[in-house]
Structure 1
Amino acid sequence: MTMLSGQDATAHPYVDDTATVVSFFIQKNTIYTQLTGLVANLNGDDVIALSVEQQRDLDKICGTLDQYQEQPHLLDPHLEQLIDPVVTGLRRHIGKTFGGAKRTESAQERDIVVKLHPFFRYIYHLTKVRGYKTVVKFLSHEVSDLEPTLDFVAAAAATDLPDGGGSLWETRYVGMLWMSLICMIPFDLKRIDSAVGTGKAALVERISSLCKPYLSAVSKEYESAAILMMRLLTRRDTVDVHLHSFLDWAINEALTANDTFKLRGILTTLSTIYKFGPRSSLLPTLTKILPCCRLVDNPKVQSNTLLRKLCVKLSQRIGLGFMRVKIAGWRYHRGNRTLASNLAKTAGAAHTVQQGAEVAEGKGEGDEDGEDVPEEVEEIVGILLNGLRDKDTIVRWSSAKGIGRISSRLPRDFAQEVIASVLSLLEEDTFDNAEVETGIDYSQVSDSTWHGSCLALAELARRGLLLPDRLDEVVPWVVRALKFDQRRTTHSVGVHVRDAACYVCWSFARAYSPEVMKPFVEVLARSLVVISCLDREVNVRRAASAAFQENVGRQGVFPHGIEIVTLADYFAVGNRGSSFGEVAVEIARFEDYRQPIFDHVAGVCAVHWDRNIRELAATTLGRLTVGECGYMVGTVLKKLIPQCSSDDLVIRHGCLLAVGEICLAWADVKKKEGSIGDFWTNEEYSDVILPISKILTTLPSTHLDGFGSDQTRVAVCHLITCIASTPWPTSIPTLPTFFPTIWNIVNTSLERREEVVQEGASLAVAALSGWCGVEERIVKGWVEGIKVGNWNRFERRGCALALGKLRVGVLKGFVGEVLEGLCRACVVQEDKLKNDAEARRNAVHALTDVVCAFGSEYKQVVPAPQLSGVLTVLFAGLEDYSTDSRGDVGSWVREACLEGLERIVGLELLGGGRISDGADNLEGDTFRKFVAHLCRQSVEKIDRMRECAGGILERVVWWEGVEDGAVEELRCILPHDTHINWNNPAEVFPKMVKVLELDAYRKEVLVGLVVSVGGLTESLVRHASSSLIDFVSALPESLSTSPAPSLTLPTFFDDLADIFTTRSKQDRVTVPLLEVLNVLIGSGSLGKLVSDGGEEGVRVVKGLYEGVKSEVARSKDVKKVVAGIQVFCGYASLPKVGDGDVEALRKRAIKQVVFYLAHPYPKVRRAAAENLYVVVTTWDVDMDVDEGGGEGLDTMEVEEILLATDWDLPVAELKPVRETVGTLLEAV
């Protein structure tokens, strides 16, 4: 799929917005326009170097082309238009500069090379995206182009980009590719060689000497050099004269080379030559090239993946060269598969089938079993078979293809030996084991060997070389490979093996007729279905789905093929949860696949090494029980129960989860069938009910407290939850310790440090309280456990969760006690050692759950004073900004409080109540306060909090039954049909800043905005500050200047000053507030207030100043003091308005900044000096003359002192300097 940038993706209507995938070349017009501008530089008599802007356009073109690397075929219809204009211009200038007898000077040639380089770089990008084989077809191949192009590439070899800009490797790469095409001209090269008769080197020698050095190049030139050498040396007029000498040189260099890059280039060239060269000419050289194939065992080659691949590739080319080009007559041929053949008459069709059968039985024409196979081929086959074991996929894949190609030319007996050797690789290090699903133990085998063998089998089958009589032997190994999974501590190995096995099944579908495949349909269909639904890896599931679909389409004999292809398509199996929980369950409706799916889920997935797979398997087993309850309870459950006590953590965890889910589904099935009372038979009681109950009473303590006990406890609690959610027997005479054991497990799990264990135990409490109730001592123990005096914070967390899960029947006797204890547990303590954010969060959740457990009748159960206390605690929790080493842990509490308030306040409306404007009651006051807090939290700096608060706000303002004036205005800001992405500051703040106009919510929103403007994230600060500045800049100075009653500038700053009073010494708010003031001063809003706000504006400005001074006084927080200095300097820069109060304020601000010049902290002193310097330099020249006409302030002297003084000196030395500056500034 081609992925485009967001801008490109949204710029065109034919783009899939969900996946950003295109189906055609979207930017063609843009690229054509840009390319036309670039090609214009080639249209004149001289080449014009690209300008900086044109270089930028070229980079854009290359970047656009790179976007199509995953779908390069989309460029095919446009390649001619993309290449021809460039090649035409290049050819003309190369011919003009390097063609003819009259050549220009070398300096001019190098200049031309440099100027043409960007165009060659462009062509290189096309080869990178589309591949050189496609692009080279569009290059010119005139005879007259050969020598000029050769001279051009030679000049490029001696030229580098100016100013150390790098080499011209793209030019050389494309140039040699171009020459490789021209070298294919059907004329003798001597006839077009201008050096004939001149004593100079021949054309072939010049090309060869040019290419040889580049075979050892580090960059891509070695590829094009290899292709050019192949084209040159395999010509009819050069192969007999020049090929042997080159091979001698290449063999000698390969066997003696210490340079890895040179060996790479030589092996690439040899592989290319033996692929395309004429066999008659190459046959005499095959024996002497064999030493190069043996290099695969060389230690230098063994450590390099690419060299091993090239050796294997060369080996298969040599092996093919030893044998005539022919199609093995003994191979299996399915017959003609054309539409015409399929529509032929019956007689003709019968003839085709008969002919195919004859070929399948080895009676076809051209079978030459008597032909001798050279001994060297055996060595080659040995190299390829060893390559199937290689540790790298590309080597194994090349070896597999080589096995298939060589086998297609071998006599039948020899080819069958090769196939037997491939199968023997699968048998290595395997042991029979009837206990495992596959029948063999392959824990000691090499996964690489199995992968290579499967690839080889697929290649053999695809070519018809795996005869039908071999399928009896091959198919069982393929089925085992489909389930290959070797566990390695915390992970497993085998994904690539299973994927290759799917490829084998895909090859079977294409190679064999339905009659041949019929005996194996059942086992293959079942295996593919199981893997396509239940494999852990998405690529394996999709590969199995594709193989199944291929078999359904080509074989037509897979049971329920069309239905399953519809269910298990590419997209359906792409999501693991959907594949396990939906696709597998749907397919299990078909009897042919039901038992394999059941057995695989229970026998493999339920005990998988991945915990997520075990959990999915348990859920899937529960869903499968609904469709086949008898088999699951009578067979699967009986197999799982004994494994619940296994010493293997993975088996124990998975089986406990699975048993719980099956029991829960079993009870639901019986309930739907109308079962009343006991849902089990006597046999099921003894075989299932009793053994499951014994699991809980016989679990060793090491399983619950040793390594991995967290997973075991989660699974045990899940089992308890499941059986407590069914009509399980509440009295088991043979197990008197059943209930004490259950409660002991639950209580000890509530005290564990792992949150997932506590959550599982709390769910068990919920189920148990509804099944058998909870003893009074246990409830009181939990109430005692949540007390702040309990130093075990983990117990406090767990007990709070447990209290929140109690059912109504249990709660009614303890409501007051439980609520009182939970309210105390939610309060932040002065002693930090007693504080625990998670305990407070859990207590808030529990408070909410307890109140909401009674539904709309909560007022009849919860006394009004206690309910008021609960709401007070929740609102207090919204002010919890506790922090520790993990960050703002108080946000967990705030989030829980918001969710709790939404549920509790919503209870009033649940029973048909209404919340009206101006209603002086608990619900109305609570609602308005709640919405105000939501507005504040929805503009704070933490994305998660904004998302939580914003989502609740969008729901709350549109609650039915709410008739509040402020909420009506909020509805205009938050329309019902739109949704805000609360994680995106660019979307949130421009909209929420409008809430400042609402008196009911302004102060809370202002606090949230202030905190966000002082945030740490650049995007958050930018969008929050810009939104606030834009809003404030649009405010009127007074109501008289506003056409309608609205918020004014003095009122806004009054509310801002009020924050200093209400949030005094709360650095979390006041430090960002100082930064906000500095931003507003910089935007001119404060100056506007002073100039146009009149007496009211001056009063507000003075109030702000006092608030700032009071906040920073005696503060030891450097960040706060520096922010205060910046505000004071802003006051010092206020415009002169002739008001005595403002002038006095300016002088006070200056004196305050001067005071900080001798602050104990050097950083503060430096900040004061720097900011004061900025203020002094911005004063007008008019300020230098006082009202009496005498000399005023000498700013130059102050500036010099501020710049020249080392403010890191001791304070005692800086005090005289401060006094001097203060004296000089008194004239202001």
Structure 2
Amino acid sequence: MDTKEENLEEGVFPGCTLEYFQEHKEVLELIKSVEIIIDDKSNYETSLQKFKFIMEQYREQAHLLDSHLEEILEEVIVRVRNVNADMNLKHTLFKYLYMIVSVRGYKVIVKKLPHEVGDLKPVLSMLEEQDSTDLENWQTRYCLLLWLSIIVKIPFDMSRFDTGESGDSSVMQRILTISQTYVLSHDSCNKIAAYLVSQFITRTDVKQVHLQPFLTWCTQYFLSGNSRDDFCKYGPLSALASILKFGKREDILPHSEFLLTTLTEAHINTDSYRLTRRYYVKLIQRLGLTFLKVQIAPWRYKRGNRILSVETNDKAKDRTQDLPTTETITQEEEEDFEVVPQVEEIINELFETLRDKDLTVRWSAAKGLGRVTNRLPKGLADDVIGNVLEYLSPREKDPAWHGACLALAELGKRGLLLPHRLPAAVTAILKALVYDEPKGYCSVGSYIRDAACYVCWAFARAYDHRTLEPFVQDIARGLPLSSLSCLHFGVKDLDKPFRFGWLFSFGLKSVSIHYRLYQTGVLPSRRWPYHTNYS
């Protein structure tokens, strides 16, 4: 009996996973046949749908495309560069390119796009010719903005590309104008336009002239009292957040106080649009990192196992036992530096957004709180942790519980939650594992139990087993209780500590029991929980 039959007898079934990009030749043929089918509406739509169907199969395993991306992109770009090609043909090619970008992600694709000096003016001119109100071919504008974002990084002064003729705008001004236009657009182009701005405005020859005016241009949309402009705040916010992400600290620091004051006066944290609040949180946390020196907290706890691999041999156990003790690590001298008052204001804003009604905003605030705390002195960081624990109290509503759990996980992952805080943290997390608040004919609490499981996963990953051992039995009782109502999260996180054999001797047996109950339908039927959005 072969291995496949043995697996089927044992109940192990093959998943819907792919091993390689099987249709790469078919994809290339579809691209090459564009010139033929462009005038045949029936074949044209069939080809588009076929290309989309092929790409969608790899959305969960997009890395399989990597080995063929350069060849595919080359076929597209060669045809786009043809000056004699019809614009409808180019629109179709850019639709194909956008499907690839949507599956693999623009951060990967942009690195593989050509960035020759000769492409700058043709791409910029093609982008200027596009109609920003054309809803049918917005993919063309999206891909051209993405392509331009890598071209503008060429190591030559932008003034060299100017014609010098009177009345002609400089290339630098043309790029800035087109970027501002699409930052304010109401489609997906605003996200890529923000990325383009961050790559362009942080250039040495551009930031000296255009950085301050562009920041001022963005902030005027925050202070607008017109409700019609509420959506327009999102684009400038994402552009500013992207500039703070890619810009140098010494370039941003002179403008940080101005930006913080403007954001505070605009009260963007109460905006009704979810993405506006989310990018506000991103911008606030990056301003906090700008105010603080670039350094990692010397007092942080030295992590235990970074990789959750199954290590059961004696060598692995000896390596775990040889890890430095908490006392040795926490005795490191802490550098004495002054924290500006603006940092405290930013931390308060992050704490307020931990209570936000939207999950993605709370998630961003938790990550921001972890990043900022990583640069704080030990005393201030301990105050931050104390305030997070206060959110896990009966007087707080469920969004605050969820935000606090995410924040604890982020602090624990970074080694910022020191062992003397673990008793209080574990006590609060045990309550979160069984959180269930009745509301009318239903109850809320599943996403809080999910976040509490995430905290347990983070603690098992971050702390040495000798540090976590006093709390193991309490956690071992809490996770199975959570898994009974949240199988997707409880069992998944129950398994993580078990991989460190020295924590729970009954771990694998418990997971096996849960899996059998899941198979037989005793527990709720949902996807088997070994995938997470948090890890």
Shorter-chain TM-score range: 0.7 to 0.9
Taking the TM superposition and a 5 Å limit, the aligned residue runs for 1:221-620 are: 221-256=189-224, 258=226, 259-294=229-264, 297-298=267-268, 301-334=270-303, 353-354=323-324, 357-359=327-329, 362-364=330-332, 367-368=334-335, 370-427=336-393, 429=395, 445-532=396-483, 534-535=484-485, 540-554=486-500, 556-569=502-515, 572-573=517-518, 577-578=522-523
Aligned counterpart, 2:146: 177
Please state how far the C-alpha of 1:20 moved relative to its aligned partner.
7.9
Cα 1:245–1:503 shift into 2, 3 Å: same
| Partner residue, 1:679 | none
Q: Which structure 2 residue ranges, 5 or more long, are not aligned?
A: 1-10, 526-535
Structure 1 residue 32: Cα displacement:
3.3
Match of residue 61 from structure 1: 51
* C-alpha distance in 2 between matches for 1:479 and 1:573: 24
Q: Return the alpha-carbon distance in structure 2 between the equivalents of residues 172 and 355 of structure 1.
A: 56
Q: Supply the AA of the counterpart residue of 2:47.
A: D
2:51 is the alignment partner of 1:51:
no
Partner residue, 1:23: 18
The aligned amino acid for 1:233 is I
Q: After TM superposition, give the deviation of residue 302 of structure 1 in Å.
A: 2.7
1:355 CA displacement: 6.6
TM-score normalised according to structure 1 size? 0.39
AA partner of residue 227 (structure 1) = Y
Mapped partners of 2:325, 2:39: distance in 1: 66
In the alignment, residue 440 of structure 2 is paired with which amino acid? T
CA deviation after TM superposition for structure 1 residue 68, in Å? 3.4
1:124 corresponds to 2:69: no
Q: 1:575 to 1:276 in 2, by over 3 A?
A: farther
Distance, in Å, in 2 between the alignment partners of 1:463 and 1:196 is 53
**Cα RMSD (Å) of the superposition?**
3.0
Q: What amino acid does structure 2 have at the position aligned with 1:175?
A: L
Deviation readout 1:785-840 (Å, 9 max, x if unpaired): xxxxxxxxxxxxxxxxxxxxxxxxxxxxxxxxxxxxxxxxxxxxxxxxxxxxxxxx
Is the CA contact (8 Å cut-off) linking 1:296 and 1:302 kept in structure 2? no
Give, as a single letter, the amino acid of the residue that structure 2 aligns with 1:36.
K
Task: Give the SS at the match of 1:527.
Answer: helix
The secondary structure found in structure 2 opposite 1:303 is coil
Residue 34 (1) aligns with residue 2 (2): no
Q: Deviations over 1:521-545 (max 9, x none)?
A: 000011112222x21xxxx223221
Mapped contact 2:433–2:449 kept (Cα < 8 A):
yes
Gap change, CA 1:286 and 1:135, over 3 Å in 2: same
Equivalent residues in 2 for 1:885-896, closer than 5 Å? none
Are positions 1:78 and 2:68 aligned together? yes
**What letter matches 2:194 in structure 1?**
A
Deviation at 1:218, TM superposition (A): 1.1
> Which residue type is aligned with residue 62 of structure 1?
K
Q: Is the 8 A contact 1:73 1:130 kept in 2?
A: yes
In the TM superposition, residue 449 of structure 1 has moved relative to its aligned partner by: 0.8
Distance 1:344 1:281, change over 3 A: farther
Report deviation, 1:353.
2.3
Distance 1:555 1:19, change over 3 A: closer
State the shift of 1:157 in Å.
3.4
Q: For the structure 1 residues 322 and 426, does the alpha-carbon distance in structure 2 shift closer, same or farther, using more than 3 Å as the test?
A: same
Aligned residues: 508
Are residues 344 and 256 of structure 1, via their aligned partners in 2, closer, same or farther at CA, if it must alter by over 3 Å? Answer: farther
Inter-CA distance 383–411: structure 2 relative to 1 (3 Å threshold): same
Aligned equivalent of 2:128, options 151, 154, 162: 154
Change (3 A) 1:314 1:575: farther
Cα distance, 1:465 vs structure 2:
0.7
Give 3-state SS (helix, strand or coil) of 1:466's partner.
coil
Which residues in structure 2 correspond to 1:822-901 (within 5 Å)? none
* Superposition deviation, residue 350 in structure 1: 9.3
* 1:1176 matched residue in structure 2: none
- The 2-side partners of 1:333 and 1:66 are apart by 42
Determine the C-alpha separation between the residues in 1 that align with 2:357 and 2:69.
39
* CA distance in 2: counterparts of 1:205 and 1:246, whole angstroms: 12
Task: Supply the distance in 1 between the matched residues of 2:131 and 2:76 (Cα, whole angstroms).
Answer: 21
Secondary structure of 2:220 counterpart: helix
Any idea what SS the aligned residue of 1:229 has?
Answer: helix
- The 1:194–1:18 alpha-carbon spacing in structure 2 relative to 1, beyond 3 Å, is same
Q: Give the CA deviation at 1:453.
A: 0.6
Which consecutive residues of structure 1, in runs of 5 or more, have no partner in the other structure? 1-15, 42-47, 98-110, 161-165, 430-444, 581-1228
* 2:304 and 2:320 in contact (8 A); partners too: no
Between the aligned partners of 2:219 and 2:208, the Cα distance in structure 1 is: 17
Match of 1:738 in 2: none
* 1:549-585 Cα shifts (integer Å, max 9, x gaps): 111113622132232233334x7547661479xxxxx
Check 1:49–1:516 CA distance in 2 against 1; reply closer, same or farther (3 A cut). same
SS for the counterpart of 2:415 is: coil
Partners of 2:94 and 2:506 in 1: CA distance = 56
Q: Distance in 2 between matches of 1:33 and 1:546?
A: 42
Contact 2:306 2:462 in 1 (8 A): no
Q: Tell me how far 1:147 sits from its aligned partner.
A: 1.3
Q: Structure 1 CA distance, aligned partners of 2:224 and 2:178? A: 21
Contact 1:336 1:352 in 2 (8 A): no
- Per-residue CA deviations over 1:1024-1075 (Å, capped at 9, x if unaligned) read xxxxxxxxxxxxxxxxxxxxxxxxxxxxxxxxxxxxxxxxxxxxxxxxxxxx
3-state SS of paired residue (2:186): coil
Q: Give the Cα–Cα distance (whole angstroms) in 1 for the partners of residues 366 and 521 of structure 2.
A: 31
Give the letter aligned to residue 577 of structure 1. V
C-alpha contact (below 8 Å) 2:130/2:141 kept by paired residues:
yes
Q: In 2 relative to 1, CA 86–579 (structure 1 residues): closer, same or farther, beyond 3 Å? A: closer
Q: Which structure 2 residues correspond to residues 905-924 of structure 1 after superposition, within 5 A?
A: none
Q: Which has the higher contact order (CA 8 A, sep 6+)?
A: 2
**1:754-833 aligned within 5 A:** none
Q: Distance in 1 between matches of 2:211 and 2:184?
A: 19
Question: Could you tell me how far apart the structure 2 residues matched to 1:236 and 1:246 are?
Answer: 15
CA distance in 1, matches of 2:129, 2:27: 30
Partners of 2:281 and 2:14 lie apart in 1 by: 39
Amino acid at match of 1:234: T
> What does residue 170 of structure 2 align with?
202
Residue aligned with 1:492, SS = strand
CA drift at 1:131: 1.3
CA distance in 1, matches of 2:374, 2:398: 27
**Contact 1:113 1:152 survives alignment (8 Å):** no
The answer as to whether partners of 2:153 and 2:199 remain within 8 angstroms in 1 is yes
TM-score after normalising by structure 2: 0.87
Equivalent residues in 2 for 1:989-1000 (5 A)? none
Q: Report deviation, 1:143.
A: 1.4
Q: Which amino acid aligns with 1:470?
A: R
Deviations 1:248-289 (A, max 9, x none): 111123222631232110001001111111111001010000
> Which is greater in Rg?
1
Percent sequence identity over aligned pairs: 37
| Rounded Cα–Cα distance in structure 1 between residues aligned with 2:277 and 2:44 | 43
